[in-house]
Amino acid sequence: MDAVARLPLALFRTIDADPRHWQIIALAGLFLFSYSTSSFGAEPSALLFAFCGAMLAQGLGTAVLNLRAGRPLLHGFEFKSALITTLGVTILLRAAAPWIWFAAAFTGIALKFLVRIKGKHVFNPGCIGIVAMMLLLGRDAWVSPGQWGQMPLILGYALALAALTLSSAKRLDIALGFLGTFAAILFARALWLGDPMAIPLHQLSSGSLLIFAFFMITDPRSTPDSRLGRVLFAMAVAGLATWFIIGPNQRGAPLMALAALGLLTPLLDRALPTRRFEWPRGTPAPDRTRPIFTLSPLKPWGTKET
């Protein structure tokens, strides 16, 4: 009986041991929201293609790193981050052909291995994978903002907030910093122009904005390590995203802004140094004797973290 009574606490501790567990649970729930509440929502076939692309890229990247280090090819294979990328790409991206989900997930994970500064990848994998497809394929790849009805959206925000609050990654500051700045600019513009408040409220009632704010810009491995750096980064991304909306009316504006400002993270880490975030069961610190910036597979990567 005691074992049964302790089971919920043991389960909570198991999940809480790695912040990615909360992200996976929340994103899986949002995938179900999208699939069940909208005829234009995410499809299981898209999830399968994205999963194959992400895991293939993760496996290849891990194998190359281990080959260089003389370890077994799949030693330390990390599927959790790749699964998070899979879910994010599936929920957000809409495409004219199934292979596009595969390509988006593969590209995002591959760039995680290929583009690093001091062992830290520059771009959020899901974000850069989607942006790459949108830029390369034009109308064949897009982001659908209003995926869910009002009630599923509210439930989605509650689920995302709970997951991020419970997560030991502690990145609620960057999510709230982005949403607060984004909302403030939109409402200020509406007041300045005399527009009805329904316009900014509609712009904020977006399933894609929810995923972006809680599961992309909050990625600990591609955002600043210091709290002040994260808040400044969130404000910069929000400012550029609103400009993309107000000016060129760019599709997927927050994703485009995050991809464009990816290089701001290493600058803020340099200006505001603090302890680097590592996932549980962390990997050795990066070798400081290796090149600071790696853009080509012809040179060693900065760390074995995958």
Model confidence, pTM? 0.84
| Residue 247 structure tokens | 């000016």
Q: What is the pLDDT along the chain (306 residues), one digit of tens a residue?
A: 466 667 777 777 787 778 888 889 888 888 888 888 776 677 899 999 999 999 999 999 999 989 988 888 888 788 898 999 999 999 999 999 999 999 999 999 999 999 988 878 899 999 999 999 999 998 899 987 766 666 667 777 777 777 776 566 678 889 889 999 999 999 999 999 998 998 888 888 887 888 888 888 888 888 999 999 999 999 999 999 999 988 887 888 999 999 999 999 999 999 998 888 777 764 433 443 333 344 444 344 444 444
User: Please, which residues have CB within 8 angstroms of residue 226's CB and are 6 or more apart in sequence?
Assistant: 268, 269, 272, 273, 274
Give Cα 1 distance to the centre of its chain. Answer: 41
d(CA 106, CA 102): 6
User: Please, which residues have CB within 8 angstroms of residue 156's CB and are 6 or more apart in sequence?
Assistant: 29, 30, 33, 148, 207, 210
d(CA 278, CA 295): 22
Q: Is 51 exposed, middle or buried (0-12, 13-18, 19+ CB in 10 A)?
A: buried
pLDDT for 165 equals 66
| Residue 38 structure tokens | 């909208």
| Residue 199 structure tokens | 């316009």
| Residue 71 structure tokens | 């370890």
